[in-house]
Amino acid sequence: MDINKIKNLIRIGTISAVNGAACSARVVFDDKDDLVSAELPIITIGSSQTRAYWIPEVGTQVLCIFQPNASGCGIGSGFIIGAFYSSVDKPVESDAAVRSITFADGSFIRYDNGNIEINAKGKLVLKGATIELN
pTM reported for the whole predicted model: 0.81
State the Cα–Cα distance between residues 70 and 66, nearest whole angstrom: 12
pLDDT in tens, the chain (134 residues): 567 667 778 999 999 999 999 999 999 999 888 899 999 999 988 778 888 889 999 999 999 999 887 666 666 789 999 999 988 889 999 999 999 999 999 999 999 999 999 999 999 999 999 999 98
Beta strands in 23-121 (DSSP E): 24-29, 35-36, 40-41, 61-68, 75-83, 99-102, 108-112, 115-119
Instruction: Give me the pLDDT at residue 73, please.
Output: 62
CATH 2.40.50.230 domain residues, the chain: 3-83
Instruction: Give me the pLDDT at residue 12, please.
Output: 94
3-state secondary structure of 12: strand
Instruction: Give me the pLDDT at residue 31, please.
Output: 87
CA atoms within 13 A on the CB side of 24: 11
Q: Which fold has domain 3-83?
A: OB fold (Dihydrolipoamide Acetyltransferase, E2P) (2.40.50)
